[in-house]
Structure 1
């Protein structure tokens, strides 16, 4: 398998809000790409493309040199990886783009060794807009040689690809990133509440903050919401990621407590009905 080959056979599983545009970028970059999804309607956006559709995960696994996996949680990763690894080609690459516990990524990589499959821990940041624009960030845990095999595929949807260590390290960086985001969302929510309590006009406050030293991506996101309840789905996912970081660090870790304290008020408001 040559990293420079334009005929690298790719697969993708996990056609959600972030995975779907990632798969589309791979297809549009010219990689022969096979998709598999549990729901037939997930294929609708690709009917006008060169994508192929597998009848099951195992069929996709047999045909591909590189597979991207962007499912929701640890159980999904374990299930799909357990179906793929036994049938994948020798030295094929399985790139885990989901946000999961680092130990889950390490366990899948260890299973990969038994089947002579290369596994990369490769969560992404940037969300749907960055995925559509090909501007995602990929935080890679895994060996350098495997990253080089996967790099051209990653470049179809990413602007920044950084190896941060062995398998599991990518997940650690992603958990810190997402936990910092939700902590900053909590601080931004409190700042807007402070402005309201002081009788300040919201739009003017946001405009000035975003042009000043208090600016942040989280403030921009929070300012577009009428209330934290508008972030219900994202809040549930970020609560999961914050919980994973707390598990990794331990409940008494001062850094975990600081991040959690900043995030909790916003998360409670965002996820109260979840």
Structure 2
């Protein structure tokens, strides 16, 4: 198994920034590029090399982690910004964002044609999990490449699992997100009803959180999801539910009921977050 020492990272947002920081903390030589110079503050506390171009970063590392908004951003880096054209043969390219499993297969084939290797490795746990280094990483791709990248993933994860070939990581993440978002709808409905009958909502969330009715969705509503964060999250949740529905339909199952509940959960997120600030 090859030993990776030089890691590139692009996408230094609320989740990607702490992931990159964790990689450097564990002794890897971290190389970064950012569209906005302000984003580089995320890794200011750890040793790193900054690059002016994606191409320069690509030529300097053995593994490149991408934590971006959607698959279109991946394509832009690979081709328009010449990431693939500047990677050495065998370079591992990892997508930690959430996207479409079929698109992951297309990207994987495109990367392979260029002589590199692709892993789709979306993560669960959000920015709190990234800061705590407790993310779950769902991986799709070749087993030998997974083994090589595994120590890097462990720097920011407490669970790392190979789920199958390229696309399997995304499919697993979409099922995870569908369950989270539909559970969010349950929590939103219960909290709204509890407010109507006069229950103390913070106290309710705390006591249910240690009881059989507890869930990650309920905990997140009671802690991390502020109204401003909810404004950011709910369109991402809608996007993930559409990816989920598309992936399920392509594989011969019917997502309609789960999709409707998930979209309702996304729609109600801002109102639920506001309810808990009163």
TM value normalised by structure 2: 0.89
1:25 and 2:36 equivalent? no
Secondary structure at the residue paired with 1:250?
helix
Instruction: Please tell me whether the aligned partners of residues 186 and 262 of structure 1 are also in contact (alpha carbons under 8 angstroms).
Output: yes
8 Å Cα contact 1:222/1:228 also seen in 2: no
Tell me if the contact between 2:29 and 2:47 (Cα under 8 Å) persists in the aligned partners.
yes
- Shift of the 225–20 alpha-carbon distance from structure 1 to 2, 3 Å rule, reads closer
Deviation at 1:257, TM superposition (A): 2.3
Match runs of 1:234-253 below 5 Å: 234-250=233-249
- SS in structure 2 opposite 1:67? strand
CA distance change for structure 1 residues 254 and 205 in 2, over 3 Å: closer, same or farther? Answer: farther
Shift of 1:225: 7.7
Residue in 2 aligned with 1:186?
185
Coordinate RMSD, CA, aligned: 2.2
Is the Cα–Cα contact under 8 Å of residues 134 and 156 in structure 1 kept in the other structure?
A: yes
Match of residue 51, structure 2, among 30, 48, 54: 54
CA contact (8 A) 1:230 1:270 kept: no
Check if 1:143 corresponds to 2:150: no
Q: Which moved more, 1:39-48 or 1:102-111?
A: 39-48
Please state how far the C-alpha of 1:34 moved relative to its aligned partner: 0.6
Is 1:11–1:60's contact at 8 Å kept on the other side of the alignment? yes
Within-5 A mapping of 1:115-134:
115-134=114-133
- Aligned position for 2:36: 39
Structure 2 gaps, min length 5: 272-278
CA distance in 2, matches of 1:242, 1:104: 16
2:72 maps to which of 47, 70, 75: 75
Structure 1 residue aligned with 2:222:
223
1:11 and 1:35 in contact (8 A); partners too = yes
Between 106-115 and 257-266, the greater mean CA deviation after superposition: 257-266
The number of equivalent residue pairs is 268
- Looking at structure 1, the residues matched to 42 and 169 of structure 2 have their Cα atoms a distance apart, in angstroms, of 30
Contact 2:17 2:43 in 1 (8 A): no
Alpha-carbon separation, structure 2, partners of 1:266 and 1:90: 44
Contact 2:71–2:103 under 8 Å retained in 1: yes
Q: Aligned equivalents of 1:185 and 1:193: distance in 2? A: 12
2:275 alignment counterpart:
none
Partner of 1:12: 9
